[in-house]
Structure 1
Amino acid sequence: MTSNPIVTLAGVAKRYGAFLALQETDLAIAEGEFVTLLGPSGCGKTTTLRLIGGFEQASAGRIAIAGQDVTDSPPYRRPVNTVFQDYALFPHMSVAENIGYGLSVKSGRVAKAERDRRVADALAMVGLEGKAGMRPGALSGGQRQRV
């Protein structure tokens, strides 16, 4: 690795209220280096990428790209590109609302009690019980894919 990394994370962490999405992380990536973030669903891989891209604000730490501190810079001021994996979710709606959306539209509308039951069954099937009230942005990438 070169002495001047192209991407640096120094003590970067992300919280959503009391939920710790990414514990304090240090990372240095050299120009031209190939890096893979590998781990189980919910461990912080997508959160790390969203922080580097500026789509999330760090709760702690600093982010530098090409030697420039970009921690507080908006995405369009950062020299990085992002390919999203969660383009099909409504960010302003909860997980339950996203899952139940198709059951709530006018044609073929399903009664609320039945809709709630089906949403709960779907959440249980993919291991996301307890996430019904969260917004997609507070989930890991793998969790958003399951929604």
Structure 2
Amino acid sequence: MTPEQITLVQQSFSKVAPISEQAAVLFYDRLFEVAPSVRAMFPQDMTEQRKKLMGMLAAVVGGLSNLETILPAASALAKRHVAYGAKAEHYPVVGATLLWTLEKGLGEAWTPELAKAWTDAYGVLSGYMISEAYGAQPQAAE
């Protein structure tokens, strides 16, 4: 990620933070709509889960300028997700849901440049988490 992309992600998240509760509801409603099979991994009462999501997003976004500070927490989270039944193939669905939520929440402020910055940020973090949870992904044969 470029420093400009990091700034874009951080500035846009500062606009989401005041509506974090609504954003989390939107996120999980959408996730369960597009991937109903994951609903069983979550508690019936999603109040605490929504707070955890927004707290983790805030920590990650805040740490983008210094990734080393957030990688241990991301590694631990990835490993906990395995115990809950998460699989590597869930990460793209969660990423798409996050981008959809941000687009809805940010409205006209959601630009192609901002979408790319968030896509890149999620790609870096999810790639790391997948490798931590499931081991290094095999390289394609050349």
- TM-score in terms of structure 1 length: 0.24
The structure where strand makes up a greater share of residues is 1
> Which of the pair has the greater relative contact order for Cα pairs under 8 Å at 6+ separation?
2
- Give the helix-richer structure, 1 or 2: 2
Compute the TM-score of the two structures, normalised by the length of structure 2: 0.24
